Amino acid sequence: MALLNANPDWFPALRAVFAYGARTGAPTALDWPEETLLPISPGVLLLMIGGEKDGCIAHSGTATVQIPRQLPYRADIP
């Protein structure tokens, strides 16, 4: 989320962003085509660190998540 929300148009005071084990690959569970990469804003400094043994990517495809196509309407939420 830090990478995709690092947009100075949305957050004018933002100067830099840090992410560990992050990627910009769009999730196919949200109906993005495979191998889709989402853009990162060029307007901020970026420090991205990756690891080889943290299990982040290895375990990202093992959980099954059911995402509703439309959230139920709740009248009690403003």
Q: For 59, list phi and psi in degrees, rounded to 5.
A: -95, -5
Q: Which residue has the higher pLDDT, 64 or 53?
A: 53
Q: What is the pLDDT of residue 13?
A: 92
b/e map of 49-72 (b: 16 or more CB within 10 Å)? eeeeeeeeeeeeeeeeeeeeeeee
Q: Is-above-0.85 flag for pTM?
A: no
pLDDT at 1 > cutoff 80 = no
Q: What is the pLDDT of residue 49?
A: 81
What does the domain layout of the chain look like in residue ranges?
A: 1-78
Chain segment 18-61, per-residue pLDDT in tens: 888 777 888 888 888 888 888 888 888 888 887 676 666 566 65
- DSSP single-letter state for residue 20: E
Report the distance separating Cα 32 and Cα 12, nearest Å: 29
